[in-house]
Structure 1
Amino acid sequence: MSADPTASESLRLLGPEPAGWVPPTDGTDHDVTIVGAGQSGLAIAHALRRAGIDRVAVLDAADDPRHVGSWAGLARMKTLRTDKKLVGPELGNPALGFRAWFEARNGIHAWAAIDRIATADWIAYLTWFQAQVRIPVRRGVRVTRLEPDGRGRIRVHLGGDTVEVTRKVILANGVEGTGGPRIPTEVAGLSPTVFAHTGSLIDFSALRGRTVAILGSAASAFDAAATALETGAAEVHLFSRRSDLVIVRPGGKPPALAVFDAFPLLPDAERWRRRAGFAASTPLDSVVRATAHPNFRIHLDAPWHDAVETGGQVEVTAADGTHTFDFVIAGTGYQHDPATRPELAGIADRIALWRDVYEPPADLRSSQAGSFPYLGPAYQFTPRDPDDTWVSQIHVFNAGASQSFGLPIGDVPSLRIGVPRLVEAISRDFVLADLHRFTPPAPAGPPSREEYAHAVWSGVPA
């Protein structure tokens, strides 16, 4: 995609990118390695470069350069769930923002005509954004293991015999974060021929004419249900353990972003309490999209007790009876225990979790919340042993940071303050670590008064 003249001009007016000021460190390949090249990874890489940190590697497991992040494969909603006016990866440069891109292609009045941003438009915008900021991405590269190098840096294993050493790692790998899909025990034994999580690529065309069960009632569950119905599923049944749905309806006062900005400064007890009261919700349009189909049914107060695969189908025992389906989709969200993440499993016992740091009151206990990593103010892992300082060189800018920061990190609302906060902290860390390597600039040539001798006050009036 070619450069946009307006975006290019905005970058020209900002001035040239600062020269890299971080002294090269012997034995390292990079100063920063960013894992993930979605909206977060690209925004962070762009901000680092504008801050003069240029030895940065951006890695992405996906090998398709046409789409940024996982939106094209996993985002099944028609529109984004966030306010269209929120700042995205442009980080203060309006010429790089979605609105500038959208109006340039659809006219200045098109912006007022949309309520929220279409997912297809967001995918196209992010692809355009990457082209404008010219962030090189190494695609088809999967990080298989992280480990210390014994000198305070991180060894990044990339499969085979490829190992790169970096001073800092930023995990910007989206909703899977520091864990992966949460698979309830009731469905853990089902094979891929009859089961998938919403976090997986699903061939919905293969569900045409078949009966589908959706386990869960949050937004991703409803979006999967609607996609299956629109693709021609014979019946779709959605099961919720709740007695009613939590629906986000238009209107009302949105939460103040300033509350989330200050969230990491709150005491642990207050952060835990606020997160413990969080309930997964569904936008009204996602509910309406699914319920518009007469072959869609919602089962309330219907947690599953068992699911058995037999004869190519799944027999489900739920609180409201026994049912048989051709395929099951779990919209059950994600867990964020580092021990379950392949690249973190080898160092998980060195990473402090919330359960290691805070003991909640009995009525607010949660094993799921307790398994989130306990992060510092720069999104960094906290070591269980204070001597493991290298642990804090790994920063978590993904959904695994939500317990520490109060909102899903990596989503659009988190970029406005999160990316500058992270980049400022990384810059500060490099300055403090390398202070002994910075020497004051030497004057050019020997001392001379040639330019100003005539203006030196002699004490005698002229």
Structure 2
Amino acid sequence: MTTTTDLDFAAREALRLLGPDPENWVSDRADIDHNVTIVGGSGSGSTFAFALRRAGIGRVTVIDEALDEVHAGVWLTRARMKKLRTPKNLPGPELGIPALSFQAWYEARHGVEAYTAIDRIPRVAWAEYLSWYRHFLGIPVRYQTKLVRIEPDADFFRLHLEVNGVAQVETTRKIIFANGVAGTGGPNIPPVLASLPRTLYAHTSDKIDFNNLRGKTVAVLGAAASAFDAAGVALESGAKAVHLFARRPAIASLPVNRLRGYPGAYYNYPQLPDAARWFQAWRFNQVGSTPPPDAIERVIAFSNFHLHLSAPWKSAHNQGDRIVAQVNDDVFEFDFAIAGTGYFVDPTKRPELAEFAHHIALWRDRYDAPADQRDDQLSTHPYLGSAHEYQEKVPGNAPYLKDIHVFNPAGFVSFGLPIGDVPSIRRDVPAVVARISHDLFFADWSLHEARITSGNISPDFDTSLYADAVWKQQAKVTVS
């Protein structure tokens, strides 16, 4: 079995053979603090920081509003699955360097046979791997740094931050949002719950004290993976009973997105016509998001778990400290409800974008869906460019939008994948980094032109190196 020390040595050796990180080639600008600011310090943010470093783009900062590394991202906080939902062998943060991969990390700790034995990556192991990746590569993350507002200027942004609770302003030329499922919207709270006291319900995005649910009757609304995960933790924490309510007559079981995984569809999907991309997103919503079989098995192992199909809540009110809900023709009482109802995407609802969100092109602005494919939820997704950049609703009104790149689920309609998850890394991180490199270079072309055509370079040798080898015509001898 290899060891952690062996892995670190192999990873260092792989980086040595790859060659040193290029020097920062981006020209400094007066009063600009950062070339790129990455919002979100978990897996995606760390991957971007490494990719930008390898592209020779310096003065990159990674910010995260979480208290510390443990609380950043979802893996040790709001994620409640036992295993990741993606295949274990998908390329990810290693960016083509095998010694930096999850497989190399896991085998160094547990052995080749142990990796072979797992079907998917354990959630806690994934969090440990990302921590190792971040520390091994020396990627600094500024925790307790919250982005409050983005103020555009001519060719840069002022970032209004709260750093350890203190207001601060910094400037940056580019922004990458690598900030997770709620990064361009927020938790989707069903209206039927919204009128209840907040003490009686939570969304799966909330920090939930499941120990407080011991001995209580709990309702879970929703039937995708996060709903089943929350139900599982509630049961394991000693809930008296858990009732899960699904609107559909059956749990979604057809993983239509999986059909797009082959290289042809994967790499060329962003170039599909709008009608094709919209149809695929609409079709996914029609079929529904599928929970993994083990998420269902986790809850049905408990006799006090009850599944309700074709059971949308008609109404709910509180009676004292309990919830009274009408579901079809039945009335139920619960001590607590959990909304496993996903997230909405709408840039106009994000406070940090408030100053210019009305300029961002949404899918409803660029594509008029057929009557039988209308979907209000999808229509508010931003219509992103090929490098995940925001685009203008009206050309010329907000040219700075091209300098904000979105690497979170808001890119689903444009790119056909849950952007920010592992499957999107291999294709989309290089595309975003390449565009940032292009934009920064051509924005300063006059400086680079002067640099690459200047005479500020010494010759590698002088003419003495080859003087003796220069052909000299033999003098002709005249015969008398």
TM range (shorter): over 0.9
Gaps of 5+ in 1: none
- Alignment partner, residue 218 of structure 1: 224
CA distance 1:256–1:296, shift in 2 (3 Å): same
CA distance 1:449–1:386, shift in 2 (3 Å): same
- Alignment partner, residue 378 of structure 2: 369
**Relative contact order (alpha carbons < 8 A, sep ≥ 6): 1 or 2 greater?**
1
Q: Distance in 1 between the 2:349 and 2:314 partners? A: 24
Q: Distance in 2 between the 1:248 and 1:106 partners? A: 34
2:408 is matched by which residue type in structure 1? N
- Alignment partner, residue 271 of structure 2: 265
Contact preservation (8 Å) 2:383, 2:390 = yes
- Alignment partner, residue 30 of structure 1: 34
Q: 2:201 aligns with which of 195, 203, 219?
A: 195
Contact preservation (8 Å) 1:67, 1:123 = no
- Alignment partner, residue 453 of structure 1: 467
2:249 is matched by which residue type in structure 1? S
Tell me the CA shift for residue 67 of structure 1. Answer: 5.9
TM-score normalised by length of structure 1: 0.95
Q: 2:356 aligns with which of 347, 354, 357?
A: 347
Tell me the CA shift for residue 430 of structure 1. Answer: 1.1
Q: Distance in 2 between the 1:145 and 1:382 partners? A: 19
Q: Distance in 2 between the 1:147 and 1:394 partners? A: 12
Is 1:295 the counterpart of 2:304? The answer is yes
Contact preservation (8 Å) 1:67, 1:127 = no
Superposed, which structure 2 residues align to 1:43-442 within 5 Å?
43-66=47-70, 69-149=73-153, 151-159=154-162, 160-247=166-253, 255-278=261-284, 279-387=288-396, 388-438=398-448, 439=450, 440=452, 441-442=454-455
Tell me the CA shift for residue 113 of structure 1. Answer: 1.1
Q: Distance in 2 between the 1:109 and 1:447 partners? A: 57
2:244 partner SS: strand
Tell me the CA shift for residue 177 of structure 1. Answer: 2.2
Tell me the CA shift for residue 455 of structure 1. Answer: 3.5
Q: Distance in 2 between the 1:459 and 1:176 partners? A: 79
1:386 is matched by which residue type in structure 2? P
Q: Distance in 2 between the 1:148 and 1:188 partners? A: 34
Tell me the CA shift for residue 191 of structure 1. Answer: 2.6
For residues 179-237 of structure 1, give each alpha carbon's deviation from its aligned partner in whole angstroms, at most 9, with x where no partner exists.
Answer: 01111211112233111111111111111100110111001000100110011001100
CA distance 1:157–1:457, shift in 2 (3 Å): farther
Gaps of 5+ in 2: none
1:315 partner SS: strand
2:350 is matched by which residue type in structure 1? R
Residue identity over aligned pairs, in percent, reads 49
The root-mean-square deviation of aligned C-alpha atoms, in Å, is: 2.1
Tell me the CA shift for residue 457 of structure 1. Answer: 4.7
TM-score normalised by length of structure 2: 0.92
1:158 is matched by which residue type in structure 2? L
CA distance 1:15–1:316, shift in 2 (3 Å): same
Contact preservation (8 Å) 1:317, 1:323 = yes
1:372 partner SS: coil
Tell me the CA shift for residue 292 of structure 1. Answer: 0.8
Q: Distance in 2 between the 1:461 and 1:384 partners? A: 79
- Alignment partner, residue 10 of structure 2: 6
2:312 is matched by which residue type in structure 1? P
Q: Distance in 1 between the 2:191 and 2:27 partners? A: 50
Q: Distance in 2 between the 1:368 and 1:461 partners? A: 90
Say how many residue pairs are matched: 459
Compare CA radii of gyration and give the structure with the larger one.
2
2:388 is matched by which residue type in structure 1? Y
Tell me the CA shift for residue 460 of structure 1. Answer: 6.4
Q: Distance in 1 between the 2:423 and 2:329 partners? A: 38
